[in-house]
Structure 1
Amino acid sequence: MYEEGEKQPKILATLASNDNRLVYEILEKSKEKEDKYASISLKFNGKFLTIIIKENNNEIKRISFQAVSGRPKKDNGKHYFTYEKERQMLKDERPIPEGEYYITPLSENKDDGVQELSIIDNIIGSVSWVLSKVKLPKRGEFYGSSFVWGTIRIPIQPKTKTFTDSEGQTITRNNFFIHGGVEAGSAGCIDLWKDNEEFFKIFLAYVEKYRDRILKNQGKIPLVVKYEDSTKIECDNAAYTKYCKPIGKESK
């Protein structure tokens, strides 16, 4: 028998040599108890998308990747990302609104789980983007190709949310994703741009490690979006925005 809560099992009683089944059951229950409180979650604060790992209710690791949301303001040759409440409601520019969301990377439904860009998707998305400039309809699941999305993405759920602005007007937002792309910035999505592939490589490794716990939570991984009022990100003005830095204190 083993004392509960010990990292290294402490023998409290010696069992007869033919009691292997009892020892097996005790060890299995102990393992189940340890795994019960393992969890993985995400947090986005307008500067970083952070993977948070907990075991036994204790946070053991944070891994942060630079990310932004919304379209940048442009001023004096610089791009700025800000996250004021009013800006969260602006059409075609707004960042993802603050709130509680979730993602389902283990879903077998292709509309809810991880979506990888195929060669065909990339071709269709690229051609459709060019043809849309002459007012032809947009085509393909990855409209704009890897330039806009990167090579992998995942939908943020719920897919539709309703908000009320400062004037009491009801605004519906939808089609949120975590994704990459060449340029920093995407209306309504969390954009990892240059770090997208690295994020998904690390994130999906943890998803596989904690697969059983995630499935017991209906396959959901929580995502919290919470901005600081003073958050401001300054980026260069290159067409391929590779350099961005938070202005002021960096907090993950």
Structure 2
Amino acid sequence: MSDRYASERGSPRVPACPRSQVFLNFNGRFLTMSGPTSRIYAAVSGRTDSGGKFDYSSMRQRKDGVGPIPPGQYWIEPSQMWENHWYNFAPRAAWGDHRITIHVYPGTQTYGRGGFFIHGGTHAGSAGCINLHAGMESFVRDLKEAATSSPDCNIPLTVRY
């Protein structure tokens, strides 16, 4: 089977653009935007375990396709926001109407995993992305506002459980 996210995987790298005044933090329950614009969004990562709970243990973080995004330092670039148009093939139930690639900073241990995004969808859970489900549209709006007032292109994202 081919890797559906091959184009999104890559070696960890430092962004070639300046750092924004906006920062993102994800703790397994919330994605927090801090800086000139401050917001909190309910969020999860990975799929639920057999008991229906989200498991953020280090063992689960190693599981490709079901585990949560591993803790560490990441970054996003607002100009990479992808919009799901009617002619795209991405299922809205899983992806929602928008997604943005999460890039890995050097030194972050991902256990060979990659292809992480921040996205929406109709249900909580993902293959390791940060899923904002119903809150994605608010996040997109807030991110556009924050990026307008701060034209810098690299927004740091810290994942810490």
Instruction: For 2:42 and 2:150, locate their aligned partners in 1 and report how far apart those are by CA, in whole Å.
Output: 24
Larger radius of gyration: 1
Identical columns (%): 37
Out of 55, 58, 61, the position equivalent to 1:82 is 55
Superposition pairs of residues 85-100 of structure 1, within 5 angstroms: 85-100=58-73
Aligned residues: 143
Is 2:116 aligned against 1:182?
no
Maintained 8 Å contact 1:161/1:172: no
Q: How far is 1:162 from its partner?
A: 7.5
CA offsets 1:55-79 (integer angstroms, 9 cap, x no match) = xxxxxx531000000000132xxx2
Could you state the TM-score of these two structures normalised by the residue count of structure 1?
Answer: 0.53
More helix by share: 1
CA 1:64/1:182 → structure 2, altered by over 3 Å: closer, same or farther?
same
Out of 192, 196, 211, the position equivalent to 2:132 is 192
Counterpart residue identity of residue 160, structure 2: K
Instruction: For 1:102 and 1:183, locate their aligned partners in 2 and report how far apart those are by CA, in whole Å.
Output: 24
CA offsets 1:113-155 (integer angstroms, 9 cap, x no match) = 110011101xxx2xxxxxxxxxxxxxxxx2xx11110101100
Maintained 8 Å contact 2:95/2:121: yes
Q: How far is 1:46 from its partner?
A: 0.4
Instruction: For 1:160 and 1:178, locate their aligned partners in 2 and report how far apart those are by CA, in whole Å.
Output: 19
Counterpart residue identity of residue 177, structure 1: F
Maintained 8 Å contact 1:94/1:187: yes
Out of 82, 85, 97, the position equivalent to 1:151 is 97
Matched position secondary structure for 1:206 = helix
Counterpart residue identity of residue 71, structure 1: R
- Runs of 4+ in structure 1 displaced over 3 angstroms? 159-164
CA offsets 1:221-250 (integer angstroms, 9 cap, x no match) = 1000000xxxxxxxxxxxxxxxxxxxxxxx
Gap regions ≥5 residues in structure 2: 1-19
More strand by share: 1
Could you state the TM-score of these two structures normalised by the residue count of structure 2?
Answer: 0.81
Maintained 8 Å contact 1:160/1:172: no
Maintained 8 Å contact 2:64/2:128: no
Gap regions ≥5 residues in structure 1: 1-37, 55-60, 107-112, 126-141, 165-170, 228-252
Maintained 8 Å contact 2:72/2:109: no
RMSD: 2.3
With a CA cutoff of 8 Å and minimum separation of 6, indicate the structure with the bigger relative contact order: 2
